[in-house]
Each structure stands twice: as structure tokens, then as C-alpha cells.
A = this chain, B = another copy of it.
């Protein structure tokens, strides 16, 4: 849903529950609006004539406002929303608490609020939130005692307290905001709406978010993928670790998707994940003030060797890379630097450098075509004036296209310089690793912009056959299918080992004879999960033995698990495991984000080493290729230690076809092809397990 204009740039704001009473939220909101808002502020309070000199109305319907801010107790708030709707007010911020965060009564109240909002087509922020801010009009419709410094970052937070915490702290660091939203319970408007709106907003250059969950995963991914084509989006998602997820679920009670699904969603949407509040704003400040680099190679210019090495260490862990300076650049550096200085990267301008020498060296390295950005590190010395340095760096920044991150490794004596640089949109840091992390935000977003995700291929498949096979799950009390459903893969063009399920010794004999070489025979029963445990698998069976082995397998199953329904025996070609690599291709369905395709090493290594990667379906050829690159064991597929490389294209196509299968059938809750044997000549699925929800078929 797009957000009606007027939420962030109203002409008249009604404050429902306005008061002058000390300590009241309605007073705090009024004070904030009266102090700074460019438009009109209309108090609504039937028990008083005026609030802060402004005539009070009895009802929201009398205000002629285009934004209503609601601070009355929760039971009344629902009626206020309905009344606002009747009066044609399209934007309402419900600050009041006492909704779904408080139990079943509150949840019913929130449902009534959503119903009223839907009926009138109203955008509601909250309830249970701090409010919203927008600096261009001076709108501070919050009860926070702090206001935002103007800027080009728009920030949404699922924690109201974090908004209060950040405003002042960010202002101290020269970080300003365009719009700020406390999302509250996200009853109507949520993260997707704001990503959508800010992605198209000319005044927002960066979107930052703190989120504890995402409500509609697929919509969010779509909206964010569009937004990040032009506007960087960085999100701190809490509940990343098990401890955090446990804390988050007891805090919000939200059904959150798995962390793997969030990572896959952010990757697909081009959203930059960050791990802490500091990282959110370290990265956000760089994205807000600086152009994107042309290349990941960066140069470090420092007046002290040690901190230069620290920066190089951080570069080694980042998307950035340490640039190799050209011969010309090194010659030119030698011209502007004393003999004792280093003309290699990190460029050490040494301890007696003044601001001009910094600027000269910086100009020379940025002139190098192989250098896309620079990290400038200044330690206090007898000759260096931090303010002078700030001025020359700001001037370099104005003259040139390349982004720079600045480390002032000093205490309060560098405060004035920091302000100068902030005014020139150059963020400053103390720690070299944080400066690199900030700059790396630009490199990471550059990768997002350059990444061509491609479109999913539409393979020609036999959907009807697949549906029929899936429908056979209706006979199964546990909703599971096994090797008897291999035809599903065939229907979607995924190669399977030659195999047949037979129901008699004679048929087993015929089936084995039709297959080249020895065969594997396995009992087929929905009730036998671990076939090997009951002697239900025989490998290396010659065609002549197949009839006997059929009898043996069935007899064993009857003896050891008398209740098991036996569907027959599978006769399958032997996989060429010597030349091949066992992989797993599977899918799960995340409650928030839908089908998630998983790829990794198969067999015992999947379980023990967890060397797998996941991508949201539907996925493109490029995304399937990226999954191969993403596993640690990729070299095993590509011919490590003199082995022949496997047929990568066949693996990639299998991943894509599986993606199409699980996208076509939401009824498939889980599916594993394990192993999918990959050889130089192609791939073959050996076994399959899936869980199907017959109700959604």
C-alpha cells in the first residue's frame, strides 16, 4: 500500500487528547508541534477551551485537519479513528498503548481499529508508538523530548525507545533525518509501506530500519527490491541469534520467520543487513553523504603506520579491497612526500605531515584510476591542526567524485574538526575499523546496484502429472511422500536415476534386466522411515538375483514391521558415486517469506558441517549459480585435487526447476532431494522426501 500524501507533510495537525497537564503525553506532543511545526496545530479536548493558546475543539471531526495524532486512552482511540474517517482525515498516528501488546482484549481492540481504518481507507501509524517526525516541515508528532536534526536519512523503528535514544546521539554526530517513524504494533502501516514510500521520496537518500519482524515477507521483498534500485536500505534485524530470537519472541509475541529466511530475503531485496545500532548509523551516515565508488579498491592515507595497518586489516574483512597503486601514482606520491614516507598503500605521510600534505597525497591517490575511495587517518601530532585538516578534506571532497571516510584518532580536541566535516557530509570515526565499516557500506550498496539478479526461467513442465503425484498424499496420515514420488521430479524435468517400483518378483527381475549394470533395491513403504534399519535396502544386486531379493526385502519388512503398508520394491540403477559428488537440493516454506530453496553438500556432511545456502524462490539462473559459489565445498564440485569438474549447468538447472516446483505448489511444505549425485556427465536424483499439505493442493 502506498501512503497517502499528507502523513509527513500535513497542513493542519489535530492532537486528540491535547492538554497542558504536566507529564501528560498529550502535553508533550502539543509542545513539540507548537515549537517547531510550520503548519497549524489544532488541539482536540472537550474538557477545555484552549491548549497553549490554541482554541480546542470537542471532536476530531471539527478540526479540518489532514493528520490526526491520537493520545487518548485505547478504548476511545478506535472511535477517534472512525470519526477521523468520517471527517475525511486520511492519516492518523495512534500513539496510545493498550492494544495487541496487552492481551486478548487489546487484540480485539486492535482488530476493531484495523477494521475502522480499512473501512475509511485511512493510513494508521501505530498504535502503541512514539509517533512520527518529518524535518522539512518541522513536524514533530511525537512525545519525545528530542527533535531530529534535518537530513536525508529516513528511519523507521519497531522500538519507540530506540527512536528517542538515537535522535540526540545522532545529532551529536552530525547525522540528520528527513522522516522518522515509530512503527508501534504495525496494525495498518508497516515496514513495507515505508520502504515503498521512501524509495520514491526525493528527500530521502537512505532508508534505515530497526525491525523485530517483517509482517508480509513477499511484499516486503518486492517493495525493497524496487526501492534499493535507487535508494540504499540498511536494516538492523534483532533476534539474529538463538538467544536474541527467544528474547524477541517473548517481547513482541510475533511469529517471526527463521533467521536463514531473513538473510535470504535481505539478499534478494538488496537490503544491507547490519548487526548493531552503531553499524546502522556508521553505514547510514556514509550512504547519506557520499557518492558510490567506481571500484572496491581503496587507498589508506595516514600519518601513522600502526593505524594504517589496522585499516588494512579491516579492509581485508570487507567488500572493499586494498588498492595497488600504479607506478605513476607512486612516482607522484614521492614528489609530494618526504623520503621517509611510504608511497605504497597504506600511504604513510608520516608524523610531521600538515594538512596540506594530507590533501596532496589524497589528491594523488584518488587520481589513480584503480582507486575508488580513500580512508584518511589522522593521529594528533605537534604539526597537524585538525580543523585545518577538516577544511582541506572538505575541499578535496567538493572537488572530486570519490568517497572518503575520515578517522580522527583523538579525543575532544578533534570535536570542532568533526563538526566541520559533518557539515561537508563527511562522517568521522575514531577507530579505523569503524571508518572502513562505514566506507564498506558504500561498497556493499554498489554491489547491490550492480547485481543483475535476472528473471526466473519458465521451464516447460508437466504440472498436471506433478499435481496427481502430490495428491497421492491424501492417503497418508503423516502427509509425507518418499521414493514413490520420484515421478514428481521427472514431471519437472529433474533427472532421476533409472528406477521402477515393482510389485512382484518377476517384475523386479524384468526391471533389473532393463537397467545397465547392478541395481539397488529398496522396500517402498510410507510407514518405514529408516529402510536400512529393518534390512530394507540391498545394493549391488545383479539382474539374476532380483526376484529373490524382492522376496527377501518384503519378507523382512513383514517380519520386522508387520503393520507397515508395502507399496512395492524400488529397483534403481547404481549411482556413480566415485566420479560424483553427493549434493542436496531441497526446499522449506518459511511462514513469513514462503519457499526457500536450499543447496549444499549431501549425505552425512550436510548434517554435520551445515555447509548449505538458501535463496528465496522463485529464483533465476544467476541466483542458482550464486548458490553454487556460496558453499564452502564449491571446489569439490569444480574439480578439486585433480578430479573432473561436475556438470555445473545441470546442478544450476536442477535448483531452478526445484524452485519452479515449490513455487507452483504452495502445498509442498518441505522437500529434499538427497542425494542429488552430480557427475561430469550430469546430475541424477537418487532419493526424495517431501511433506505436502493436502488442504492447500
Provide the residues of chain B in CB contact with A413, threshold 8 Å. 168
Provide the residues of chain B in CB contact with A252, threshold 8 Å. 305
Provide the residues of chain B in CB contact with A306, threshold 8 Å. 157-159, 161-162, 210, 212, 238, 251
Identify which of residues 607-666 in chain A touch chain B, using a CB-to-CB cut-off of 8 Å.
607-611, 632-633, 635-636, 640-642
Provide the residues of chain B in CB contact with A165, threshold 8 Å. 304, 307, 379-380, 409-410, 430
- In the complex, A577 has a CB within 8 A of chain B: no
- In the complex, A315 has a CB within 8 A of chain B: yes
Provide the residues of chain B in CB contact with A304, threshold 8 Å. 159-162, 165
Interface string of A230-261 (1 = CB under 8 A from B): 00000010111111101110111000000000
Provide the residues of chain B in CB contact with A136, threshold 8 Å. none
A250, chain B: closest CB distance, angstroms: 6
Interface 9-mer from A118-126, A431-439, A583-591:
A431-439
Identify which of residues 322-371 in chain A touch chain B, using a CB-to-CB cut-off of 8 Å.
322, 340, 342, 344-346, 348, 351
Do residues B340 and A409 form an inter-chain contact, with CB atoms below 8 A? no
- In the complex, A517 has a CB within 8 A of chain B: no
Do residues A322 and B164 form an inter-chain contact, with CB atoms below 8 A? no
Do residues A316 and B251 form an inter-chain contact, with CB atoms below 8 A? no
Provide the residues of chain B in CB contact with A145, threshold 8 Å. 380, 382
Provide the residues of chain B in CB contact with A321, threshold 8 Å. 243
- In the complex, A450 has a CB within 8 A of chain B: no
Provide the residues of chain B in CB contact with A477, threshold 8 Å. none
- In the complex, A454 has a CB within 8 A of chain B: no
Provide the residues of chain B in CB contact with A176, threshold 8 Å. none
Do residues A609 and B608 form an inter-chain contact, with CB atoms below 8 A? no
Provide the residues of chain B in CB contact with A166, threshold 8 Å. 409
- In the complex, A504 has a CB within 8 A of chain B: no
Knowing A239-B309, A310-B244, A636-B608 are in contact, say whether A277-B432 is a contact too (CB < 8 A).
yes
Interface string of A152-180 (1 = CB under 8 A from B): 00000111111011111111100000000
Tell me the complex Cα distance, A492–B344, Å: 49
A420, chain B: closest CB distance, angstroms: 19
Knowing A169-B411, A243-B322, A430-B277 are in contact, say whether A164-B309 is a contact too (CB < 8 A).
no
Provide the residues of chain B in CB contact with A162, threshold 8 Å. 304, 306-307, 379, 409
Knowing A276-B431, A278-B434, A380-B145 are in contact, say whether A348-B240 is a contact too (CB < 8 A).
no
Provide the residues of chain B in CB contact with A168, threshold 8 Å. 380, 410-413
Do residues A276 and B412 form an inter-chain contact, with CB atoms below 8 A? no
Do residues B146 and A380 form an inter-chain contact, with CB atoms below 8 A? yes
Sorting the interface of chain A by its residue count into under 10, 10 to 19, 20 to 34 or 35 or more gives 35 or more
Do residues A309 and B640 form an inter-chain contact, with CB atoms below 8 A? no
Do residues A164 and B251 form an inter-chain contact, with CB atoms below 8 A? no
Knowing A168-B412, A313-B239 are in contact, say whether A433-B632 is a contact too (CB < 8 A).
no
A308, chain B: closest CB distance, angstroms: 6
Knowing A159-B306, A430-B277 are in contact, say whether A380-B164 is a contact too (CB < 8 A).
yes
| Residue from the list B346, B633, B640 in contact with A251, Cβ < 8 A | B346
Do residues A251 and B411 form an inter-chain contact, with CB atoms below 8 A? no
* Total identical chains: 2
- In the complex, A447 has a CB within 8 A of chain B: no
- In the complex, A312 has a CB within 8 A of chain B: yes
| Residue from the list B157, B317, B379, B604 in contact with A164, Cβ < 8 A | B379
A528, chain B: closest CB distance, angstroms: 15
A505, chain B: closest CB distance, angstroms: 29
Do residues B379 and A161 form an inter-chain contact, with CB atoms below 8 A? yes
- In the complex, A147 has a CB within 8 A of chain B: no
Provide the residues of chain B in CB contact with A104, threshold 8 Å. none
Provide the residues of chain B in CB contact with A204, threshold 8 Å. none
Provide the residues of chain B in CB contact with A432, threshold 8 Å. 276-277
Do residues A312 and B380 form an inter-chain contact, with CB atoms below 8 A? no
Do residues A640 and B604 form an inter-chain contact, with CB atoms below 8 A? yes
- In the complex, A23 has a CB within 8 A of chain B: yes
- In the complex, A390 has a CB within 8 A of chain B: no
A384, chain B: closest CB distance, angstroms: 11
Provide the residues of chain B in CB contact with A409, threshold 8 Å. 161-162, 165-166, 169, 277
Do residues B241 and A313 form an inter-chain contact, with CB atoms below 8 A? yes
Tell me the complex Cα distance, A369–B345, Å: 53
A430, chain B: closest CB distance, angstroms: 6
Q: Which residue of B lies closest to A601 (CB)?
A: B609
Tell me the complex Cα distance, A251–B146, Å: 46
- In the complex, A506 has a CB within 8 A of chain B: no
Interface string of A255-298 (1 = CB under 8 A from B): 00000000000000000000111100000000000000000000
| Residue from the list B144, B313, B351 in contact with A161, Cβ < 8 A | B351
Tell me the complex Cα distance, A432–B604, Å: 38
Of the listed residues A144, A161, A309, the one surrounded by the most CB atoms of chain B closer than 10 A to its CB is: A309
Tell me the complex Cα distance, A354–B641, Å: 65
Do residues A310 and B379 form an inter-chain contact, with CB atoms below 8 A? no
Interface string of A518-556 (1 = CB under 8 A from B): 000000000000000100000000000000000000000
Given contacts A168-B410, A277-B431, 20 further A-B contacts (CB under 8 A): A157-B306, A159-B307, A162-B306, A162-B307, A165-B409, A169-B411, A170-B411, A236-B310, A241-B313, A241-B314, A241-B315, A243-B312, A244-B313, A244-B316, A250-B344, A275-B433, A276-B434, A604-B640, A607-B641, A608-B635
26 A-B residue pairs with Cβ-Cβ distance under 8 Å, sorted by A, are A146-B380, A157-B306, A159-B306, A161-B351, A161-B381, A161-B409, A162-B379, A167-B411, A169-B409, A169-B410, A170-B411, A240-B313, A244-B310, A244-B313, A244-B316, A247-B309, A247-B312, A251-B305, A251-B348, A276-B310, A277-B310, A277-B430, A608-B632, A608-B633, A609-B633, A610-B632
* 4 pairs of A and B residues whose beta carbons are closest in the complex: A241-B316, A159-B306, A161-B304, A244-B313
